[in-house]
Structure 1
């Protein structure tokens, strides 16, 4: 019996020693080896949320935005009369310029079920005949409702038998740099083409004239895309594709679109007023940078520095002063002039904006009521502005605009003939002018080869007429 108990005790003790040894040495080594096997140099985590951060394309469904847009983007065909460039002996003898019909193509976006279409002005400029082809191959003759060459926006209208698919405007101010976008159009006459990219920049001044404020994208845009849609991932229209930056004429990575808030305002003005209503702040100056700030002995390097305030403008009436720095208008941060001009392009006369300025180190918020354009520069002649009743009465004039600055090229000659600042221009090209809007309209509609004839009342009260080529 004792032998049996001794044998059992030895067996139990041996098993305990064996188990302890396994736990301390063998199992520890195996755990370390397993851990090392799983340590890969790169691995995609398996949970869904993290997967999307590694693979962003899996979180965006482009098909929905494309499906919402593709049927509302149309092919625009414009037929115009242009110079052929091939002259015969008879053409030279009689001084004729041979002409032939030219065909241009682009894109457009249906923005209402009753057939209003937005496109670029340069797509339809000079057209004698205009047709629009829908995505289902139906073709209609189109009517030009109105255009604005400043923003390069035009509004067309077609009459269809039924309601048409259309794209709704989004808020381009809410678009973010880095956000996915789709460009939809008809490049190289290839209908219904969709390309994807991101917003690369906003408030881009492409031509250096401080008159535009483009959305820049890296979505592929080529000739024929002009007037097409730039939409966000929801299919909302946030821009009208307008231009590319290229040395070859084709896409090399940069494309530009008119923001939808500007395009929408232009379209609404054309429908409601027949032309574009521009509200102005009434300030001149420049965007701050380190060099400009150092020259002005300022510590600020961002914002718009006000150099002069136009008399009787909204800025003048609200109390803005030379030396103020505009930091923000409403919710829009102002870092450069295209930020300022782009936002004001969405406003009309009598709209009120809240201008945040920095004055002598203190921030102020000043409400400003925008006014109509008070001045206009006539090429070669100089700048004119709206005249008051008292200014017209001084010259016994019933209509006209006041000369506020003479152009450098002709100022010496004009002053020698009694023409000076303050004199009244009463007519241009035999058409009476009452304000700067009349002046702008006459010059806009003038042929490039037509001389400009200006009638004015000089300092001696004499009516004089001058021709400018």
Structure 2
């Protein structure tokens, strides 16, 4: 589903995504490190203090910056409602293809229609959003619309450290994305809470970077649950009056235990600012999606093979239903799971595995099931209750894939400076250019520092590394992983199995100190 940037609602209110934007001709200046906190005052550390909670949570939240370089004379194809059918190279700059509702698209709707000299220098569009640290090794969560179609992505930590990031998984339907950074050490990760147990009226805390102002803490209450704002797949949002604005996209909504119960995504607004109507994706809906994105880079969804619609009061009356429960089947896909289970057009699905559902929860629960699994559907036909066992199918919709070459990309070569050597994967090109047989395993040494540890031990360009400490190596990434693992174990010397022109032998290499 594509997301329009401003979806009209009643009373002149619009639904807005929360990313903020800047346009610049040069790269943005590095974020300044936050000021050191003032000395604590008496009472700051009292039990239940919001300041105490904020101190603990702020390092878990990050700024996400996404940029794209735009050439004013770009003749990329414009969408029909933007550039128009007569648009072309002679009509001035064209509007690049950004996802409707993404921060880049929202700005270019106006900016790119302006006449600009074709030889004008390229400009850089910067989208600012928020995110949080899901795991200490560098997994970052944000909204998909924050990073959609970006050329470069960076993450700024609370202490001002800026780290380059790449996308390892994204999903437009739920507006979620997972990034990876490579920190020098472990990062402070969030803890997820149970959003299903959060109650209307509970106190909540939102942390993010509204309008690029990093480390902003606001508080309020959970105003409502299960809000349908016609944004995304599930339409089951948490509503809060905690002040959130543009730039809060992807930031966490915490409960008072410091657990993430939601991901801030959208606001109702009359002028782009907060009026106390913010919406967050519930953590219990987000976590299964995030886990799939981390594991596979995309989301595989279950499929019922039926189109459903709401049960209105008139429909309920005509079908002799006592309430507006469940989802009315409007169409059955031929050969789909629902058809195979005997469901028919006009049936009303009211339960999944004994759990009462409406059309929103029904879509969410089916999509969350893995293809091949089974569910028991309760449904009503002609006023009578029935049950059917349905084998969940695989959604025919093409999943959103991470950009090519960015999902934990395995480099073709790696240089280990402390070992004084570089290695390369034995790919097809290397095998052909060096006449390396298919039976050859390991990685090939492609560089040796003249006075480094490897050179001192007789390792030469063209040698092959087969094992590290008896672990077989099949890629440069695997080689680096094993070396780093042994380094973490405080090993001073490691053994690598080398195949050279003189044969195969074990060679000791120093990690933390020079060998004698």
TM-score normalised to structure 2 length:
0.56
Is the aligned partner of 1:125 residue 2:113? Answer: no
Partner of 2:330: 307
More divergent stretch after superposition (316-325 vs 110-119): 316-325
Higher relative contact order (CA 8 A, sep 6+): 2
SS of structure 2 residue aligned to 1:81: strand
CA distance in 2, matches of 1:72, 1:64: 14
CA distance in 2, matches of 1:125, 1:257: 19
Change (3 A) 1:92 1:310: closer
Q: For the Cα contact (< 8 Å) 2:74–2:93, is it kept in 1?
A: no
- Select 2:344's aligned residue among 304, 314, 321: 321
How far apart are 1:204 and its partner, in Å?
Answer: 2.4
Change (3 A) 1:338 1:63: farther
> Structure 2: where are the runs of 5+ without partners?
1-45, 76-87, 95-117, 405-516
Partner of 1:147: 170
CA deviation vs aligned residue, 1:303-326 (integer Å, no higher than 9, x gap): 212233323333333333333322
Partner of 2:363: 341
SS of structure 1 residue aligned to 2:168: strand
Partner of 1:105: 128
Q: For the Cα contact (< 8 Å) 1:146–1:275, is it kept in 2?
A: yes
Q: For the Cα contact (< 8 Å) 2:320–2:383, is it kept in 1?
A: no
Q: How does 1:47-446 map to 2 (within 5 A)?
A: 62-63=50-51, 65-82=53-70, 96-97=93-94, 99-207=122-230, 212-296=235-319, 298-330=321-353, 332-335=355-358, 337-374=359-396, 437=398
Aligned residues: 320
How far apart are 1:73 and its partner, in Å?
Answer: 0.5
CA deviation vs aligned residue, 1:126-185 (integer Å, no higher than 9, x gap): 222211111111111111112111111111111111111011223333333333322111
Partner of 2:14: none
TM-score normalised to structure 1 length:
0.61
- Which structure has the greater CA radius of gyration? 1
CA distance in 1, matches of 2:73, 2:244: 29
> Structure 1: where are the runs of 5+ without partners?
1-57, 377-436, 446-469
SS of structure 2 residue aligned to 1:142: strand
Change (3 A) 1:333 1:69: farther
CA distance in 1, matches of 2:49, 2:175: 31
CA deviation vs aligned residue, 1:195-227 (integer Å, no higher than 9, x gap): 222333333221278654322222211011001
Change (3 A) 1:218 1:340: farther
Change (3 A) 1:163 1:441: closer
SS of structure 1 residue aligned to 2:368: coil
CA distance in 1, matches of 2:252, 2:212: 16
CA distance in 1, matches of 2:346, 2:333: 14
CA distance in 1, matches of 2:385, 2:280: 34
Q: For the Cα contact (< 8 Å) 1:284–1:307, is it kept in 2?
A: yes
How far apart are 1:80 and its partner, in Å?
Answer: 1.3
More divergent stretch after superposition (213-222 vs 170-179): 170-179
CA distance in 1, matches of 2:259, 2:298: 25
SS of structure 1 residue aligned to 2:303: coil
CA RMSD, 1 decimal: 3.2
Q: For the Cα contact (< 8 Å) 1:64–1:234, is it kept in 2?
A: no
**Bigger helix share:** 1
SS of structure 1 residue aligned to 2:160: coil
